[in-house]
């Protein structure tokens, strides 16, 4: 029988409402605050202290105990060090995915189960599982499936795409069937007014929102190099390091009044190739290769033989619309993914996350974007890209409107 639940309390409204709903269901609750970062920002503040005070206030209000667990060392070694290494090699990592995999749903999970004798953990993530929001369908002898949240604009399954099957079996996501606006209403009705208006956490997981280029320079030395225009081959400016920019990002180039965007970063030459205009065909591709695939439940049967094609949906950025794709598996377990439409700024180091219907199947690290539409010389590619951008905007707007 599942009775004792440890809830990750961050000091925000989502985890607070998750704890409130669980308590109302009659579970025995312990709140746990994870301290994963203890370095002050550029203003001399450390947001962890304020977040802990908010977490303590929430637990006092809900009349549940709160413990603090320190994962600062583990976060540095297993998440932040990887982030620094990836940026130095020209990749753009997703620390939120890695934090969930290594800290929240591994270190924290085992702490809760072993030290606090929890039957399960719960978080304020917007996601669902086939076992239900309160594990009402739990069975130890069958696998669990990760499902998209009811609020598609808040769905966080992309960030959970690397969580292990063993952990997911004992995870509760009480907010999976709620809209964000409804969660705020519940918080107000529960007397949690202090945190309802609190800004959502942004930026690097647990580090918080920072001025990224200044922040990353504290850990990686600047290494100036040239901006080179892809089409003309001319040097048009200087940058301070490839670690400060990512694919598709707008560049600040002195003396240039038209906007240029990052197309490619070369670690060996320290050159950044740029293109003019945010919809330049060089920024778009409909093909990519990935590695280190993690299937949450089971590998699709179409891929097990190595000769089949698996048709599903794809996403590599949170809140972006899902698009159809075809997946092929190679002999070395890499995935070739062909998209039904070109996407902008597919970037090495990000996660390609696959979906079938409402289910998040898992994800793998993008190791190589395919040739761009500029390289392939696609006919009418600018017109097609503009149409796709408009379609994506319409889909995103529709999903937001339906959530209000």
Sheet (strand 171-172) strand order: 66-70, 28-35, 4-8, 120-122, 171-172
Q: How far apart are the first and last CA of the chain?
A: 37
Let me know if 99 is a catalytic residue: yes
Return the closest-CA partner of residue 348 out of 87, 85, 92, 89.
92
Which uninterrupted H or E stretch holds 173? none
Please tell me what DSSP assigns to residue 157.
G
- Could you tell me the two tokens for 136? 């009402």
What are the DSSP E strand ranges found in 112-182?
120-122, 128-129, 146-147, 171-172
Catalytic residue from among 205, 325, 360, 381? 205
Let me know if 171 is a catalytic residue: no
- Where does residue 268 rank: exposed (0-12), middle (13-18), buried (19+ CB within 10 A)? exposed
Rounded Cα–Cα distance for residues 236 and 177 (Å): 51
Catalytic residue from among 59, 99, 360, 381? 99
Taking a C-beta distance cutoff of 8 angstroms, is the pair 220, 231 a contact? Answer: no
One-letter-per-residue 3-state SS of 306-349: CCCEEEEEEECCCCCCCEEEEEEECCCCCEEEEEEEEEECCCCC
- Could you tell me the two tokens for 388? 């796709």
Give me the active site residues, please.
99, 205
């Amino acid at each position: 029988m599942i009775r004792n639940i440890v809830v990750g309390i961050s000091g925000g409204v989502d985890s607070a409402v998750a704890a409130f709903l669980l308590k109302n269901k009659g579970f025995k609750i312990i709140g746990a605050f994870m301290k994963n970062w203890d370095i002050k920002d550029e203003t001399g503040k450390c947001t962890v202290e304020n977040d802990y005070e908010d977490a303590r206030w929430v637990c006092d209000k809900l009349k549940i105990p709160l413990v603090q667990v320190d994962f600062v060392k583990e976060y540095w070694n297993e998440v932040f060090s990887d982030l620094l290494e990836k940026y130095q090699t020209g990749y753009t990592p997703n620390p939120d995915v890695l934090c969930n995999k290594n800290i929240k749903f591994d270190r924290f999970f085992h702490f809760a189960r072993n030290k606090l004798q929890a039957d399960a953990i719960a978080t304020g993530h917007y996601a669902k599982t086939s076992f239900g929001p309160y594990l009402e369908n739990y069975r130890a002898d069958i696998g669990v499936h990760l499902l998209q949240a009811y609020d598609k604009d808040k769905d966080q399954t992309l960030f959970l795409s690397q969580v292990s099957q063993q952990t997911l079996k004992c995870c509760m996501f009480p907010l999976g069937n709620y809209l964000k606006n409804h969660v705020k209403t519940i918080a107000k009705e529960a007397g949690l007014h202090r945190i309802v208006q609190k800004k959502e956490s942004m930026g690097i997981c647990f580090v918080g929102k920072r001025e990224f280029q200044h922040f990353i320079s504290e850990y990686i030395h600047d290494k100036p190099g040239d901006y080179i225009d892809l089409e003309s081959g001319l040097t048009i400016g200087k940058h301070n390091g490839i670690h400060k920019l990512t694919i598709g990002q707008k560049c600040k180039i002195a003396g240039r009044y038209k906007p240029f965007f990052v197309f490619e970063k070369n670690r060996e030459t320290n050159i950044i190739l740029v293109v003019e205009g945010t919809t330049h065909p060089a920024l778009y591709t409909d093909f990519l290769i990935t590695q280190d695939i993690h299937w949450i439940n089971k590998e699709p049967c179409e891929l097990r033989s190595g000769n089949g094609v698996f048709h599903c949906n794809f996403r590599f950025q949170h809140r972006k619309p899902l698009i159809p794709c075809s997946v092929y598996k190679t002999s070395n377990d890499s995935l070739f993914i062909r998209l039904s439409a070109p996407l902008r700024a597919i970037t090495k180091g990000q996660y390609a996350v696959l979906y079938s219907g409402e289910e998040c199947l898992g994800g793998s690290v993008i190791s190589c974007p395919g040739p761009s539409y500029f390289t392939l010389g696609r006919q009418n590619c600018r017109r097609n890209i503009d149409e796709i951008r408009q379609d994506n905007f319409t889909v995103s707007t529709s999903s937001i409107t339906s959530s209000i």
